[in-house]
Structure 1
Amino acid sequence: MDIQDLALAKGRIAPYTHITPILSSQLLNQWLGHEIYFKAECLQKIGAFKARGACNTVAWLIENGQKPQQIIANSSGNHSQAVAWAAGQFGIPATIYMPQSASQIKIQATRAYGAEVVLCETRAEVDALVNAKSQENGTYWIPPYNHEQVIAGQGTAALEALAELSGINALFAPCGGGGLLSGTLIASRALAPQAKVFGVEPLNANDAAQSLISQSIQRLSSTPDTLADGAMTLSVGEITFEYLKQLDGMYEIGEKPIKYWTQWLHHLLKVNVEPTSAMSMEAVCQWLQKQTRPQKVLVILSGGNIDHQTRKKVWEKDYLSQLPLVQTQ
């Protein structure tokens, strides 16, 4: 795939999705000594970037005369909502398979968008059931990340941002299955070839980092214990892994920094920010500590769907008394 695939995706989804704003905090920039810009996909349809990939895939199917009788998907949250919403836009029934551990607000929202939700005990059971269902005639499976049209759709977030911002030195995005990062890499290499692209994942769910070290896809044995529920995938995909190999680095973030930055970004940007989105800022700060001149950084805020239980865990301790400080050396 290349930038033209992202441009085509942008045209397909334009009637249905938002061009999300780019946010910044003067106070944060002052504290850090750098310019940080946030692509606010938390303000996208369904509250996450996933709307882009799902919508593009359904529109692409119809464009190519392949409108299915039913759409299915498997996800712990945002992708499930996205597919339910996208299918509804085109009048196609959808069934979504989700683990019982998924965020309750995401389960409820998926149902509210009109999809039938099937809950399973484990992610492995979810994957097995959706794979079996996908063999039925007239059924089309939209995977969360390992699909070229999903990747192309996800990449439109960075495509929009880089069309608006110039001189970006580095881009950071969370890594679950790698779809957002793959699309971000395609956009960046074409529109900002000088910029570095970094992935960020929870230390407790570091299958991508393990895969990159071993140069082969590594699969987690069980559902990881992390607040970053958008990055709880058991493994990256065969398609996305090839893009992840081209990254400039992959950061692994502990649970405490995830809580810290979820609190701070909510406070500074005045928007709902999922832990999965917020963890990227810890990676940004680690990278900035090694820089010798002011940098201009773009962070993709992947989503803002956070339920009460997760919010309660995030705020078990107040971190706002600890100011974020990173200066150039």
Structure 2
Amino acid sequence: MNFTHETLPQRVVFASGQAFTRLPEEVARFGERPLVISTRADGVLPGAAYFREVAMHVPVEVANRAREAAEKHDVLVSVGGGSTTGLAKAVALTTGLPIVAVPTTFAGSEATNVWGLTENGRKTTGSDDRVLPRTVLYDAALTLPLPDDMAVASGLNALAHCVDSMWAPRADPINQTLALEGIRALRAGLPRHDLEGREQTLYGAHLAAVAFASAGSGLHHKICHVLGGMFNLPHAQTHAVVLPHVTALNISGVPPHIADVLIGLRGLREEVGAPRALRDFGFRDIDIPAAVDAILPVVPAGNPVPVTAGTLTALLHHAWAGEEPT
């Protein structure tokens, strides 16, 4: 073995049904003047100030307004999905304020030091330890109100973190092991709609994000970041549609024990009623050439199989049309 693995420092609390009773003590560890970033109603954290303007892919102009709102505060509290966590990260990136994250989906952003901002149709991402939430408070009960289609898309987004961790630029045996356990938990939890199922899914989503934070962005995420930034496609649904196509492309280039696990996921899309076509979310076939031109320069050098303009064109066409992966 010859690899370097880095584990990010973070306090993680799993407490089903207890998020908002535990939140004040967790916030008090870092400050006395919290700013809650959330679209939820008042009462999440009594006495706190709120910033409620949250948008997909964290537009720069929204981030700037949130930064201004945070000037008199000493701790950020994000309560919501990946867009909410992402906005808190954008604020932390320039202010250095600590974040306490309370996820309500399976996005996984709360467990990574990756940030993203969108400006003029282009999404820029990077990594910085300042944006890693200091504490994550997981409460599976908060995911129960998620509509089934959103829960499925969000869970498949988490699955994409696991899958991409198999071949991302910094993939190593430790994050591959975390990803494999994440796949097991997500495979068990996603088809279920009860609290125990949501706990398994949330646990799997956390492992997925930890693996992804270590391994970095592979081909799947490079594709989805371009599609989201250029065409404003919904984050989780885009990942859910694209994932099986990238998996099918790369599966011939991975070790047999990983290939066997990925093959075992083939029936999950039908089982959970996953979204299938990018055209259902506003992506057009005439957009494919521009997307290919934007994706090619950011394809990771270590992808398990070669990626060409023809490869990407075929992949995006199948994903646009909702065809079976080839």
Same-fold status (TM-score > 0.5):
no
Which structure's relative contact order is higher, taking Cα pairs within 8 Å and 6+ residues apart? 1
